Amino acid sequence: MEQALADPTTWDYIREFFLYIYTSINLWAVLVSAVAAMFIGALWYGSLFGKQWMKLMSLDKKKIAKQSMPMWASYLLMFVGSLLTALVLALMLAGLPATTINQALVVTFLLWIGLVAPITLSSVIWEGKSFKLFFLNNGYNLLSLFVTAIILVSWIKTGATPA
């Protein structure tokens, strides 16, 4: 590991990678995408499916109030996660390149079906969670990824090409 980090080509790669992010990714679109994902989550787990989600999770307001993490910290961590998701999706879309909404939606669906859905399926297999909860959570995951992809591809930096 030390030898790999000492290798000048490693640092060149890291520098080029961050330069690629700066020149190819619209960071405002990443930020707006993260805010949109948080808004969708508030609606999804609030007024739309909040009661169902709480029932499927065996939660009530008292249990939620007793969480070990303050609510502001939960939202902050979720926002950071949403930023990372948007950034990685932006890198994938720029690197392919997927420049239309249809292309972005196809790529996003493939990433969801190949990465997100199988990983979250483990909660059904190993944690005893219901398929209803799996579909409820993954409905949010897919919708927020689709909205993120639409925002990202709509705000592609002009003239940006993959390295």
* Cα gap 47→36, rounded to integer Å: 16
Does the residue 161 lie in any domain? no
Does the residue 160 lie in any domain? no
* Cα gap 8→77, rounded to integer Å: 34
The token duo for 146 is: 């689709």
The token duo for 129 is: 């969670």
Does the residue 68 lie in any domain? yes
Domain count within the chain = 1
Residue 159: predicted pLDDT: 45
* Cα gap 15→114, rounded to integer Å: 30
The token duo for 100 is: 């239309």
Does the residue 89 lie in any domain? yes
pLDDT band at 6 (very low <50, low <70, confident <90, very high): low
Burial of 33 (0-12, 13-18, 19+ CB in 10 A): buried
N-term to C-term CA, the chain: 26
* Residue span of the structural domain in which 32 resides: 2-154
Residue 59: predicted pLDDT: 86
* Cα gap 83→35, rounded to integer Å: 8
pLDDT band at 98 (very low <50, low <70, confident <90, very high): very high
Does the residue 159 lie in any domain? no
User: Which of these, 95, 147, 89, 145, lies nearest to 120 by C-alpha position?
Assistant: 145
pTM score, whole prediction: 0.84
> What are the φ and ψ backbone dihedral angles of 130, each rounded to 5 degrees?
-85, 160
Q: Which residue has the tokens 């297999």?
A: 125
